[in-house]
């Protein structure tokens, strides 16, 4: 078996990149050690946005491209087929919380300057947009209507279906074992537990496992311990079906503790908090996760009195996703220095960035030229890779 490119990793990044590579006219084999769309793709908050990425212009623009490309894909295939929801997001803040209020106003000013759609909301507008929520009298907010939510596993499987229809090969439950290279280091193929795949180019999209997988495939143990990607946990609670319209947007707030909620397409609500993510890092025992979930359900009930609250805990789905986080907080996307024919994508915000990074990496691999938008995100910017 011989192909132009092998993509290692069947999460949302790998599946999307594989499809864009096939669209570029390259033959592709996608290798996934388990099932497509599992792992981190199936356990994340799935908020598509560039609204919270305002500290670095290049990184904001990359995320904004991701948002725009989802809109383009929705026009081509239909939002329902992609698992794409277009609710928009609302951040709320109290004027009495002067520090947080200043931060959100600064966020709005930066977004306006960058051309990202947003609108400041007074209390009456908040109450009209989210009539089932109870806000303090001094609450205001920021609406970012382009933000979206996603059924990420559904999207990954859709991309793989499109890949197969175009002639691409998908190997599930297939472990990548070793890169086969000649004496000059040029890639000749990838050894897997289902046989050798001959290729001259390999794209690694292994998410939080990137350091370990790179070490295994190259035989260089240093990658496993020193590659600049960390693992961070994310704790999620998905409720059973609730009354339609109980929560209408993706809402994030610091009131009573940092908190996020959005309506899932199956009728339930998805809850998360950076606060609980940090506590999962310390203790991920079942009892502790139930305690954290109970707290999130109570926060939601405080915000939405019509919600049943912790009473539904036994009917909720609890999950912990392990996410990739490059050491400087920005995406890694480009060629692996010193390894001709090997390319790497490792990023936080992978849900937002999948179509942007997938299409840009396909352009790099197919045309052997780094797209302008990818140049700030190459590995050579990091210590040890210059």
HEC string of 57-111 equals HHHHHHHHHHHHHHHHHHHHHCHHHHCEECCCEEEEEECCCHHHHHHHHHHHHHH
Mean pLDDT, residues 93-122: 96
- Round to whole Å and give the CA distance between 321 and 39: 7
Each residue of 331-365: pLDDT tens digit? 999 999 988 999 999 999 999 999 999 999 999 99
Other CB atoms within a 10 A radius of the CB of residue 137 amount to 8
The alpha carbons of the chain give a radius of gyration, in whole angstroms, of 21
Tens digit of pLDDT for each residue in 255-295?
A: 667 899 999 989 999 999 998 988 987 788 999 999 999 99
311: number of Cβ within 10 Å: 11
CA angle, residues 42, 86, 244, in degrees to nearest 5: 85
Spatial separation of the C-alpha atoms in residues 344 and 335, rounded to whole Å: 6
Mean pLDDT computed over every residue of the chain: 96
| CA 297/CA 235 separation, integer angstroms | 13
Q: What angle do CA 203, 204, 207 make, to 5 degrees?
A: 145
CA–CA dist 42, 288 (Å, integer): 21
The CATH number given to 5-44+152-228+327-381 is 3.50.50.60
Given strand 259-263, what is the order of strands in its sheet? Answer: 119-121, 139-144, 89-94, 250-253, 259-263, 269-272, 229-238, 317-326
Residue 300 has pLDDT above 90, yes or no: yes
pLDDT (tens digit per residue) in 53-100:
999 999 999 999 999 999 999 999 999 999 999 889 999 999 999 999
CA–CA separation, 134 and 145 (whole Å) = 21
The phi, psi pair for 165, rounded to 5°, reads -60, -30
Percentage of the chain surpassing pLDDT 90?
Answer: 92
Mean pLDDT of 15-34: 98
pLDDT for 338 equals 87
For residue 386, pLDDT beyond 80? no
Q: Is 341 left (phi over 0), alpha (psi -120 to 50) or beta?
A: left
- What's the CA gap between 320 and 285, in Å, rounded? 11
Nearest Cα residue to 342 out of 164, 193, 176: 176
Once rounded to an integer, what is the mean pLDDT over residues 183-188? 89
CATH 3.30.9.10 location in the chain: 87-146+231-325
Question: Angle at the Cα of 198 (from 195 to 199), degrees rounded to 5?
Answer: 135
Confidence check: pLDDT of 298 > 90: yes
User: pLDDT, tens digit, for every residue of 230-261?
Assistant: 999 999 999 999 999 999 999 999 766 789 99
Q: What is the pLDDT averaged over residues 201-214?
A: 97
**DSSP states of 300-369 as a string?**
HHHH-TTS-GGGGGGGSEEEEEEEEEETTSS-EEEE-TTSTTEEEEE-SSHHHHHHHHHHHHHHHHHHTS
Query: Could you give the CA distance from residue 242 to residue 267 in angstroms, rounded to a whole number?
Result: 6
Burial of 102 (0-12, 13-18, 19+ CB in 10 A): exposed
Mean pLDDT of 314-322: 96
Q: Are strands 84-85 and 119-121 parallel, antiparallel or unpaired?
A: unpaired
- Superfamily of domain 87-146+231-325 in CATH is D-Amino Acid Oxidase, subunit A, domain 2 (3.30.9.10)
Examine the pLDDT at 36 and tell me if it is beyond 80. yes
Q: Where in the chain is the domain with CATH 3.50.50.60?
A: 5-44+152-228+327-381
């Amino acid at each position: 078996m011989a192909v132009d490119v092998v993509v290692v990793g069947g999460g949302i990044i790998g599946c999307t990149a594989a499809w864009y590579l096939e669209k570029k006219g390259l033959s592709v084999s996608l290798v996934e050690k388990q099932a497509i769309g599992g792992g981190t793709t199936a356990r994340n908050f799935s908020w598509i946005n560039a609204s919270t990425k305002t500290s670095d212009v290049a990184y904001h623009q990359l995320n904004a491209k991701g948002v725009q490309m989802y809109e383009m894909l929705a026009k081509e295939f239909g939002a329902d087929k992609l698992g794409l929801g277009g609710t928009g997001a609302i951040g709320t803040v109290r004027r009495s919380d002067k520090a947080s209020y200043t931060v959100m106003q600064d966020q709005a000013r930066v977004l306006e300057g960058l051309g990202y759609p947003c609108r400041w909301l007074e209390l009456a507008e908040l109450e009209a947009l989210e009539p089932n929520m109870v806000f303090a009298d001094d609450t205001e907010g920021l609406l970012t209507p382009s933000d979206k939510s996603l059924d990420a596993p559904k999207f990954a499987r859709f991309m793989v279906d499109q890949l197969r229809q175009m002639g691409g090969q998908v190997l599930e439950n297939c472990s990548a074992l070793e890169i086969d290279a000649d004496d000059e280091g040029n890639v000749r193929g990838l050894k897997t537990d289902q046989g050798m795949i001959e290729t001259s180019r390999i794209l690694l999209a292994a998410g939080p496992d990137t350091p370990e997988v790179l070490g295994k495939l190259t035989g260089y143990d240093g990658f496993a311990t020193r590659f600049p990607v960390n693992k961070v946990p994310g704790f999620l609670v998905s409720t059973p079906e609730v009354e339609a319209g109980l929560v209408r947007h993706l809402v994030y707030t610091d009131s009573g503790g940092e908190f996020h909620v959005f309506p899932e397409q199956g009728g339930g609500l998805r809850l998360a908090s950076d606060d609980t993510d940090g506590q999962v890092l310390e203790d991920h025992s079942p009892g502790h996760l139930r305690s954290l979930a109970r707290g999130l359900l109570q926060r939601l009930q405080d915000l939405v009195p019509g919600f049943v609250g912790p009473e539904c805990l036994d009917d909720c789905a609890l999950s912990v996703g392990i996410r990739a986080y490059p050491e400087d907080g920005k995406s890694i996307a480009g060629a692996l220095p010193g390894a001709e024919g090997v390319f790497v994508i490792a990023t936080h915000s992978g849900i937002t960035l999948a179509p942007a990074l997938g299409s840009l990496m396909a352009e790099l691999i197919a045309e052997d030229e780094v797209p302008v938008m990818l140049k700030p995100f190459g590995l050579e910017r990091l210590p040890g890779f210059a």
